[in-house]
Structure 1
Amino acid sequence: MPRTGFDPYLSAQLHNQILERAWIGAGRDVASVPSKTWWEESSPIPFDLASRLNPNLIRFLRSARAIIFDASSDFHLFYYLIALHGKPELFQDSSLRLWGDRFVWLYPSTRTKSDEEVGILFDQETELASFVPDWIDMVFFDMRRWAWRPLQHILQAYLDIIDEGKISTYSDRRKEKLDDMFGVFPWEIHQHTPMDIERAVSAFTRLLDAIETRLPSSSSHEQGLENPSFEEIALPYSESVIDASFTKLDSFTGSFLSALPGRQLRFRYIAPGIRLQNSDEFINQPFAERRNNHPFPERLRAGQATSCFPLLLFRGDQENKSPWSRPWFPDGNASNIPTGFYIEPVHETYNWSSGNKTRLLLPFNIGSNGFARSSNGVPFFPYSWPDQLYHSDLFSGYSGYLPWDSRSSYLHKVLEKWAERVEMGDWLVGKDGVVGGIEKFKEADTEGHWREYVIPW
């Protein structure tokens, strides 16, 4: 494997697997999967083009089977990628010319989120790649803040997404009209999958088990009965409680909460200063009264549900200004809401937005010390915000894998990180669960502890 980390042969192998799945998923015969490589399909390759290409990139192009970019084609390599670019387009865009031959526009985007989406660029100096969400990022933002990684890591992530069922194929084109779906034939995307639910339930169970086994003996069930003021929390919440919180039972959050194993908990705090809510608290959602302040214009939502708002899953003990403003605060002046752990708002008809995205709102800013890092490993500094922990770089980093939908960490990843902190002894447990208070999260911006608070994409 090349010392840079880029493996052209593995990358080509993964590319070919994605192509084969797209081809078969479209209802085409496996025997007719394109057999020519990009290099063969594009031959003859002019010397002045070949001489500008990185040798390892050439090895990839000589091994990757090709469907070549065609603007009129209705077949797409992947939900986010049209195809490999043809030889005229590799260096074509004017934005790329600012850097000479450094960047190759390898895969053009399907523009699922924006007409300005770029796709995957390959940096010929570092031999790393990144999904660039917008041409503006190419021109105005510091490239060092991007999430650059070996191409095979990106392609493997796409195969993982397919295996998880988050993105799947269809062959009946009538589906597009019946479902009024965004057409990226033969691919479609889902807000959540059974695996998303399973992972979240497993991670939450792991966290609760880790805390429960470390409770001091005075918190045992028998001794807890002697303290009538101690409120026992029963999980899962009933359907009536979930419904009263304006959470749809078939949404990710509703499915997750309904799938939790039954248990009685004699502690509340599952992270420092972050606690489980009793039924009344869960029903009393901070944005419930604002749920009909819809994020989309009325002309785009005729007859559609309007219960789209940030949902407080686990409550903090303090308040801070809401990081969400319009449309829930129509004048743009957000007021204070409880700190804690929120599920991001997702409109049920927009399947490209993941239902398991989360945001942790703290009562203080994180980032000013220069140690806290985003999920793509980039320091937040000089930016300091109360809601950026566990997120990708707020301004330019994204994940390097996906377009706009990728800044937030998924629920199961945060819960796994919290369980790990308890299991490793970084977070101690008292009679009411995890101790230390929400100030403990300030460790995320310290030299000795920042690694404990980074969740890679």
Structure 2
Amino acid sequence: MADQRITGPNWSSEGGTLNPAAFGEPLDAARCAALHNHLMERGFQLGGENSAEARPETWWHVHGSSLSDVSSKLHPNVLEFLKLAWVSAPGESFFWSTAGIPSPDDLFANGVNEAYQGLTTLDHDMYSEDDDDFEIDVPAALDVDCHRFVTLYAFQASHHQRSPSIGVVFDQVRHMAIFVPNQGVIPLLINGHNTQKFTCLEQVLDSWHLLVDREKVTKQNGIWQLNGVAQCDLDDALSAWDDLVENVEQRILNNDGSSLEDDTPRVLLNPDTAASLSLSTFRRSFLTRARRPKFQWIAPGMQVPSSDELARRISAATATDETSTSDSLQEHPLLLFAIPESNREPWPSNYCSSLTQRVPSNSELLFPFAKNIDDEAGFAPGLYLSSTASEHMVYADSFRLILPFTLGANGFVRRTDFTWDIGVSEATDQLGNLHHNTAPRYSELYQSGNSITDNGMPQHDGQLSKLFETWKRQGEMGAGGWRVSEQDAVGVIGQTGDEIQGIAIIEQNADSWERWGNYIIGR
């Protein structure tokens, strides 16, 4: 099975791609079915059984007698995949959040085909203009106008509740797959504004295997579960933090810095102090193991707190009782790196309305900040570890950066999915093109956006590990107006002498045409 994997459980990016995906080529039915069936085998093993005992049947064997009306609507490669792929037992899910391959009646009942048929001639031609770039032999008998998009994996409704769930949809013309979480995103998918990527089906299946490799998804009592506090989250965050700190310290030394004479090993939070605090597993492990930098500013305008100050913030951000365990604490967002320059705008006391400048949704209400931090201002700007009280927590190392100013007025700043929040107003740019203005936001910088990621994870706050990797890159390359001085991570733009320091570097650059791309973190 290893020869079918793209990355493999011990894959390293330094070693190159183990087994590349076949982009632009017809669906490899045998390979995808092998990946599909092996994922089921891993589920059997985690549940204490094997495929011989479970005796799974193929989708074709289960539904073949009722396929007379459906088989003509499927590309031969898709049909071959369905002949080889196993189906889950009744009442069991194929994978976390994924029910499995739909029944014949539900293969095309995804709403995408209807939306595609409803396009105007111009929009239809625009969507299909790149079809010739994919050298896929589409049988003449296949009606691609009505049956172009087939649902190969159906999501469970509980994981994508905003509107009816869909799943992994496969384009039978381009032979590429895409995650469609719910019907609400179909207009974006069809009209060209979709921010989710089409990819090969083997890439989707391999990404699910990787989640099992990293124990991010586990199977307990016969049920696939997302591990919100997986060890890989902690390992990734600590590794990225150590790389960032070491990189900045080395650059300071290379600049003849004289502030790094103290070689005493220290951590962000003194373990003895942490022993008396109520902390979740991730927060305790990260803060007591992450080494303390020998400099004060970890990023422009963001200050590393003392251990005592961090302990005070932890106490303010934790709501607990005597029966709470380390993984059941109701922890509010924790201010990790404060931005002292917080006097530019008054901060209203209502967290949600000040954060989003609109009526908060139910999910936003799950993230109240500790109100006794910076009481007079409402809450302090800075980098926060996200709340652990949310039932939607996907990654333990999630964060939000709250800025003392809004971004978006210039229309360039973007999240990972290349969106910001689109406002209702329109404006004409310097070239005379009409476009939507982006709404100003305090808290969207370095976030992933609304799209689910390549492995099907739902929307979630950004991850510390990816943020630290981005900061390291910005310091190394001078990207986004950053540089490392003899003292700390600061920055400079323009000519010599035209220095902008502190949080103003981000304000100046993140929403600029020249440097907005440097403020996007990876998926």
TM-score by length of structure 2 reads 0.68
Shift of 1:345: 0.4
Q: What per-residue deviation string (whole Å, max 9, x for no partner) do you get for residues 215-264 of structure 1?
A: 13242445x89xxxxxx9942411354467x551x421211112224x5x
User: Take 1:53 and 1:145, find their aligned partners in 2: how far apart are those partners?
Assistant: 25
User: Take 1:329 and 1:352, find their aligned partners in 2: how far apart are those partners?
Assistant: 16
Amino acid at match of 1:145: N
* Alpha-carbon spacing, 1:140–1:258, altered in 2? closer, same or farther (3 Å): same
User: Take 1:400 and 1:209, find their aligned partners in 2: how far apart are those partners?
Assistant: 31
**Taking every aligned residue pair, what percent have the same amino acid on both sides?**
25
What's the counterpart of residue 421 of structure 1?
474
Aligned mate of 2:271, from 216, 235, 239: 239
* Alpha-carbon spacing, 1:154–1:385, altered in 2? closer, same or farther (3 Å): farther
Shift of 1:67: 0.6
**1:277 and 2:305 matched:** yes
Partner of 1:342, secondary structure, is: strand
* Alpha-carbon spacing, 1:305–1:44, altered in 2? closer, same or farther (3 Å): closer
User: Take 2:35 and 2:336, find their aligned partners in 1: how far apart are those partners?
Assistant: 37
Amino acid at match of 2:87: I
User: Take 1:361 and 1:411, find their aligned partners in 2: how far apart are those partners?
Assistant: 14
**1:309 and 2:332 matched:** yes
**1:390 and 2:425 matched:** no
Shift of 1:6: 6.1
Partner of 2:165, secondary structure, is: coil
What's the counterpart of residue 285 of structure 2?
255
**1:354 and 2:419 matched:** no
User: Take 1:233 and 1:407, find their aligned partners in 2: how far apart are those partners?
Assistant: 34
What's the counterpart of residue 92 of structure 1?
109
**1:121 and 2:176 matched:** no
**1:401 and 2:458 matched:** no
**Contact conserved, 1:399 with 1:407, CA < 8 A, in 2?**
no
**Contact conserved, 1:132 with 1:403, CA < 8 A, in 2?**
no
Shift of 1:343: 1.1
Shift of 1:326: 6.7
> Which of the pair has the greater relative contact order for Cα pairs under 8 Å at 6+ separation?
1
User: Take 2:396 and 2:231, find their aligned partners in 1: how far apart are those partners?
Assistant: 12
Q: What per-residue deviation string (whole Å, max 9, x for no partner) do you get for residues 304-356 of structure 1?
A: 9663201112222233744366774799xx964222211110138x5864321
Aligned mate of 1:166, from 216, 230, 235: 216
Partner of 2:43, secondary structure, is: helix
What's the counterpart of residue 135 of structure 2?
none
Partner of 2:186, secondary structure, is: helix
**Contact conserved, 1:377 with 1:456, CA < 8 A, in 2?**
no
Amino acid at match of 1:346: T
**Contact conserved, 1:196 with 1:356, CA < 8 A, in 2?**
yes
* Alpha-carbon spacing, 1:23–1:345, altered in 2? closer, same or farther (3 Å): same
Amino acid at match of 2:287: L
What's the counterpart of residue 453 of structure 1?
519
What's the counterpart of residue 485 of structure 2?
430
**Contact conserved, 2:330 with 2:388, CA < 8 A, in 1?**
no
What's the counterpart of residue 429 of structure 2?
none
What's the counterpart of residue 235 of structure 2?
198
**Contact conserved, 1:109 with 1:119, CA < 8 A, in 2?**
yes
Shift of 1:88: 1.6
Shift of 1:137: 3.3
* Alpha-carbon spacing, 1:75–1:35, altered in 2? closer, same or farther (3 Å): closer
Amino acid at match of 1:80: S
Q: Compare 74-83 and 140-149 and name the one that shifted more.
A: 140-149
What's the counterpart of residue 41 of structure 2?
20
Aligned residues: 415
What's the counterpart of residue 189 of structure 1?
226
User: Take 2:73 and 2:172, find their aligned partners in 1: how far apart are those partners?
Assistant: 9
* Alpha-carbon spacing, 1:188–1:328, altered in 2? closer, same or farther (3 Å): closer
Partner of 1:360, secondary structure, is: strand
**1:153 and 2:173 matched:** no
**Contact conserved, 1:247 with 1:253, CA < 8 A, in 2?**
no
* Alpha-carbon spacing, 1:384–1:59, altered in 2? closer, same or farther (3 Å): farther
Partner of 2:179, secondary structure, is: strand
**Contact conserved, 1:106 with 1:122, CA < 8 A, in 2?**
yes
What's the counterpart of residue 110 of structure 1?
156
User: Take 1:343 and 1:414, find their aligned partners in 2: how far apart are those partners?
Assistant: 12
Partner of 2:152, secondary structure, is: strand
For structure 2, the 5+ residue unaligned runs are 1-21, 117-145, 356-363, 423-437, 492-501
User: Take 1:8 and 1:456, find their aligned partners in 2: how far apart are those partners?
Assistant: 30
Shift of 1:403: 4.9
What's the counterpart of residue 101 of structure 1?
147
TM-score by length of structure 1 reads 0.77
User: Take 1:139 and 1:62, find their aligned partners in 2: how far apart are those partners?
Assistant: 32
**Contact conserved, 2:393 with 2:460, CA < 8 A, in 1?**
no
**Contact conserved, 1:25 with 1:186, CA < 8 A, in 2?**
no
**1:131 and 2:179 matched:** yes
User: Take 1:213 and 1:38, find their aligned partners in 2: how far apart are those partners?
Assistant: 57
* Alpha-carbon spacing, 1:293–1:369, altered in 2? closer, same or farther (3 Å): farther
Amino acid at match of 1:199: D
Partner of 1:281, secondary structure, is: helix
